[in-house]
Structure 1
Amino acid sequence: MKLPIRNKKIIPRIIRKATFISIVILMIFILVASNEISQHKLARTAQPLNGCLSNDLLACTDTSKETILEPFIPNPELNEQQRFLSAIARKLPVPQTGTYEYIMLRAYGAVFVNPNVGIKLPPKYIFANEQETQEFQATLTMGHVNGAKDCYLQKPASDALNKARSLQKIPLKSGYGSGDCTRTFNTNLRFWHKYANNQVLAKVKQGKETKILGVVAPPGTSQHLWGLAIDLRVGSKEQRKALNQNGWFQTVGNDVPHWTYVGLSEENLPLFGFKKQLVRDITYWITPL
């Protein structure tokens, strides 16, 4: 059957148009694939931190952002403080020495080296009020602590804790309550006023008072606000071993019931700069600042 002359002209145009579209799609696919490969190589080979190998630790800046594809390991040639701060600088600016933020980083900064990709860290070291705290907590993926009433932590932290508690019976400090787990800003403030006042806070900010930090955290600075700390009643080596094997450690000196989800194995804590401190037969892993 012979095709009309009009159809004979249209069909080649359709074929040419389809061929052109196919070529364009192929080119786009090649460009996208090439870009993904380049980004992957860049993420693997780019230096994550600029200036961290120099003497100026405050020059450490995060240049890798979300392109980090492999677990971060500090340069073992750096000293303890440099290794710790290099891990911090990947996520937050390192505050100036002597500032209130630096003092809080020294006391409670263990959480900021947590390598677990499922953990979300706050965008700042100190929250100013309840609104800032709630806005951050609303972005978290929370998990329930088994056998506890109204006790929630960030899910990787609760999963690790539940695993430890499946190995050993480890009760909460209060036995049940949310005050042991993730807290509101107002709860943090209430605890502060129970043990201290504004005059003490002023001394803390000036670096003149530090002992209180092992008793209670100043408003807006508690690790409990991030959903990465819990108060427990621990009295045996077996309980401590179960917690340590699942990334939980005591990181706030003299705060016996306080446990922090660091997400590292005990053997890797020194690599990240943590210093081992033994106080009344209790091992604390404190920051090297």
Structure 2
Amino acid sequence: MKLTLRTQKNITRFIRKISFISIVILMIFVLVASNEITHHKVAITAQPLQECLSNDSLPCIDTSKKTISEPFVPDPKLNAQQRFLSAIARKLPTIPQPGTYEYTLLRSYGAVFVNPDMRIQLPQKDIFANEQETQEFQATLTMGHIDGTNDCFLQKPAADALNKTRTQQQIPLKSGYGSGDCTRTFNTNLRFWRKYANNQVLAKVKQGKETKILGLVAPPGTSQHLWGLAIDLRVGSKEQKKALNQNGWFQTVQNDVPHWTYVGLPEENLPVFGFNKQVVQGITYWITPL
């Protein structure tokens, strides 16, 4: 009886060892098989691109997913207007139809919609109807203070870029001190409009019969200043202009000499996005191609 029990125990130990070894062998097999499958999949995925690169007659297109942070660059095969529209379509839900009042405003003030900085907040349309709409939008903005001013604020990326510029060159605000040169309220925009124009002029602008006024003052609810992306400055030297340009600031509203727009692009990239360079009385403007 004792011999039989000892034998049973030995058999049990033997079976356990065999089972353990079998499990280990099975795990190794699974890992090897999985590794082979993975390499096979990689080879299949890479093969078409390799074939394309080795064949000069094929147009090579990288279909891999791009990260969200990768900057957008318009298709160089498109004309200037198409490149500009393809860029702003990423920020503006509805592109106005040519000939409309909204399209006229986009032509004059739409440069900001190409800004690539993901921290920039842009309006969903290019006209605010009243003070309430303006305040609702401005409440969503993260603002930054312009150093050395009383109450001049811009959207933070724009403020940071201007503060950096002003460490390189002394560039005063147009008024010399404050808020009227920077982010404005709807009522301030309206007050400036009434200073230079009236309802009859506005009616002509809406009909497309008057556009020169847009280089002097923006109609109510349409100013880039409402968006925290524009500022009026006193700029006289080439060094000042160069410093502003190097930090993404450009003159984009023709004939509005003190007005600077934060586009956030290097100057060499402006033509890539469709901007037209126009020099008027020695001043370089980058105009939308609409």
Give me the TM-score of the superposition, normalised by structure 2: 0.76
How far does the alpha carbon of each residue in 1:238-259 deviate from its partner, in whole angstroms, 9 at most, with x for none? 0000000000000000000000
Partner residue in 1 for 2:203: 202
Size of the aligned set, in residue pairs, is 223
Unaligned runs of 5+ in 1: 1-66
- The residue identity in structure 2 corresponding to 1:86 is S
- The residue identity in structure 1 corresponding to 2:253 is V
Partner residue in 1 for 2:266: 265
Partner residue in 1 for 2:89: 89
Q: For residue 151 of structure 1, report the CA deviation from its aligned partner.
A: 0.2
CA distance in 2 between counterparts of 1:142 and 1:91 reads: 20
RMSD over aligned CA atoms reads: 0.8
Matches within 5 A, 1:44-63: none
CA distance in 2 between counterparts of 1:210 and 1:149 reads: 34
Matching of residue 177 in structure 1 with residue 187 in structure 2? no
CA distance in 2 between counterparts of 1:148 and 1:69 reads: 33
SS at 2:284 equivalent = strand
CA distance in 1 between counterparts of 2:272 and 2:165 reads: 23
How far does the alpha carbon of each residue in 1:1-46 deviate from its partner, in whole angstroms, 9 at most, with x for none? xxxxxxxxxxxxxxxxxxxxxxxxxxxxxxxxxxxxxxxxxxxxxx
CA distance in 1 between counterparts of 2:239 and 2:159 reads: 19
CA distance in 2 between counterparts of 1:155 and 1:211 reads: 31
Matches within 5 A, 1:2-81: 68-81=68-81
- The residue identity in structure 1 corresponding to 2:71 is P
Unaligned runs of 5+ in 2: 1-66
Greater radius of gyration (CA): 2
CA distance in 1 between counterparts of 2:219 and 2:270 reads: 26
How far does the alpha carbon of each residue in 1:117-146 deviate from its partner, in whole angstroms, 9 at most, with x for none? 110001111000000000000010000000
Partner residue in 2 for 1:215: 216
Matching of residue 114 in structure 1 with residue 115 in structure 2? yes
Partner residue in 1 for 2:237: 236
SS at 2:148 equivalent = coil
CA distance in 2 between counterparts of 1:85 and 1:119 reads: 18
How far does the alpha carbon of each residue in 1:148-202 deviate from its partner, in whole angstroms, 9 at most, with x for none? 1100000000000000000000000000010000000000000000000000000
- The residue identity in structure 2 corresponding to 1:134 is Q
Partner residue in 1 for 2:282: 281
- The residue identity in structure 1 corresponding to 2:110 is G
Q: For residue 69 of structure 1, report the CA deviation from its aligned partner.
A: 3.5
- The residue identity in structure 2 corresponding to 1:200 is V
- The residue identity in structure 2 corresponding to 1:208 is K
Q: Sequence identity of aligned pairs in percent?
A: 83
SS at 1:201 equivalent = helix
How far does the alpha carbon of each residue in 1:219-277 deviate from its partner, in whole angstroms, 9 at most, with x for none? 00000000000000000000000000000000000000000000000000000000000
SS at 2:285 equivalent = strand
